[in-house]
Structure formats: C-alpha cells, structure tokens
Amino acid sequence: MPQIDLRGKRALVAGVADAGGFGFAIAKALYECGAKVSIASWPPAMGIFETMWKRGKFDDARQLSEGHLAETELMEIEKIYPLDALYDSMEDVPEDVKSNKRYSSRGDFTIQGLSDNWKADFGEGSLDILVHSLANGPEVHLDLIETSRKGYLSALSASSYSLVSMCHKLCPLMNKGGSVLSLSYLAAQQVIHGYGGGMSTAKAALEADTRYLGYQLARRYGVRINAISAGPFASRAANATGVIKDYIEHYREHAPLQEDLTQEEVANFAAFICSPLGSGMTGTTVMVDKGFHTLGMSYG
C-alpha cells in the first residue's frame, strides 16, 4: 500500500509565525512523514515564536498523530531562519529597517541571506521540499478600487514575487525530484468580496507564476512546483480581512461538503503533493476547499 514516506528528506517551510496557520500544519505533516523540517519566520514575530516554543506553549500543537514516521512524539524544528521576503538582498533593505531592534540582531534576513545560510548549514543538494506560506497585503481591508499603488505593489511583492525570488535563490540547492509548494485562494479566479488591497491580483499572479515556473524549474533543476488553493481558515493572517468568519460560514452553508476546512486537511494534501506519490504533478493549482469552487450557483 502506498505510503507518504519522507524519511531522508529535508524541508524548509517559509512563513511560520505561530501554530495557527497552514504553514505550521504543513511543517508538522511533513515531519510526521519523516522529513527533517526547518522554518523561516518574519523577524518581528520570530522572537515571540522562539520564546513560546521554548516555554512549551506549542506543545499541544506539536503532538504527533498515531502512525507517524518521525522519531519523536513532538514535532521538532531543525533550524529557524529569519526571513523578510520583501527583500532579495541586504542592499534592498532601508536603513530604518536594518537598524530596527527586531531586525538588527538577526543577521541577513533577506531571501539571499536565507539561501546563503541554508547552504552554509546543509550544503548544496540538501533541500528536497520548499514551502512558500507567505502573504501580506497592508491594504487587504480596502476594495481594489480604493487600493493605493504602494499597497497594491506591496501585496504583489510579498505574496507572489517572493515565490519567484525564492525559487531563483533556493532551487539551485534542491535535489532533482524536489518539490516547491505555495498557497493560493479562490479570489485568484473569482470575485470574493472583502479580499482587497491587491491580494486577489497577487494570488492570480502566484498561480500564473506557478505555471511558468513549473516548466522552467523542471527543465533547469528537475524540480516540481504546485499550489494549493485552500478554502477559508481563521488564521491570524486571515483575520486581517475582517470578514473571515463570514467566509467560513458561507462555505459551511453552501459548499458540497458542508463542514469547516481544517489545517490538517490542507497539510495532509501538501505532504502528498510534495512526496514522490505526487511526482506526476507540476505547474498545477489544486483546490482543497470542500468543493466550493465547483459551484456556479448555491443550492442551500
């Protein structure tokens, strides 16, 4: 019987700042399948995450399920890296950010720095799975027509171009057969009221880039890339929209499977698509949303 077995694989999940989002759940699922897992965290949130981890505040969330392939009973993190994906290199970082106390002690927190630090720690050919769980739109609460140029471009920079940059810097360190994964949302393809600030455009760009990168990464490195378009989930980041509870209630009422989406359902599919069992898939966006995307009209 096929089994998701990632023993001997090494994974990096970028965009983990707490235990309440898809990034943490995906990291845990990969660990349960036997992978060694590192994370990259936003510098302003990294200190709090590290403190809570050390104090055992995440121990319940770290508890592994029965039948896991990991060697411990709690999820472990091999390494925590600082990452602000707005910046490709330290030359791009404004002086006020460099001198900020939440950044200044973290060393090189750019995408280039992440690549350099990873290579120094593990060497070339050491990365098998790269997960992009990064999204930020400072004006997400605004309708698109009210979004400023700065807010719009910031959403694209943090939420979609960061994937391109990470692939450029990190995929040369990946093993042939490796897998890249990002997280999208239905607003990339359909109108979702309240998902503003250019975030819908950023997710559309993310999905388009996934198709192009699917070709280019395969030809250059033998690496696959896919995206999961997940249904609504009340993570800390999603709460910034101000309407996430309304989204969840609407999905629960109208989706073919009338139940809330869980972190574990998205994470389990992520583990599959990143594993050798998903080796035939690349350049694809897969919907994990209880079937909501199939509806052209709600039937109650």
How far lies 296's CA from each of 44, 154, 189, 218, 287, in Å? 41, 32, 13, 34, 15
Average pLDDT of the residues of the chain: 94
Reference 290, options 218, 231, 217, 220; nearest CA is: 231
Give residue for tokens 């392939």.
69
CA distance 13 to 50: 15
| Cβ atoms within 10 Å of 95's Cβ, excluding its own | 7
User: What is the structure's pLDDT at 217?
Assistant: 98
Q: Which residues are catalytic?
A: 185, 195
Instruction: Check residues 219 and 192 and name the one with the higher pLDDT.
Output: 219
CA distance 257 to 91: 49
pTM beyond 0.85: the answer is yes
What is the residue range of 223's domain?
10-292
User: What is the structure's pLDDT at 239?
Assistant: 59
Q: Express each pLDDT in 57-87 by its tens digit.
A: 999 999 999 989 999 999 999 999 999 999 9
Is residue 55 a part of any domain in this protein? yes
CATH number assigned to the domain comprising residue 69: 3.40.50.720
Is residue 1 a part of any domain in this protein? no
User: What is the structure's pLDDT at 296?
Assistant: 81
Q: What is the mean pLDDT of residues 33-40?
A: 98
Q: What is the mean pLDDT of residues 251-276?
A: 93
Is residue 246 a part of any domain in this protein? yes
Q: What is the mean pLDDT of residues 9-18?
A: 97
| b (16+ CB within 10 A) / e for 116-127 | ebbbeebeeeeb
Is residue 204 a part of any domain in this protein? yes
Q: What is the mean pLDDT of residues 162-178?
A: 98
Is residue 164 a part of any domain in this protein? yes
Edge-to-edge strands of the sheet including 127-132? 80-82, 36-41, 10-14, 127-132, 174-184, 224-230, 284-288
User: What is the structure's pLDDT at 232?
Assistant: 86
Number of domains in the chain: 1
Asked whether the beta carbons of 298 and 254 are under 8 A apart, the reply is yes
Is residue 5 a part of any domain in this protein? no
Q: What is the mean pLDDT of residues 7-26?
A: 96
pLDDT at 22 over 80: yes
Is residue 299 a part of any domain in this protein? no
Is residue 300 a part of any domain in this protein? no
pLDDT at 245 over 90: no
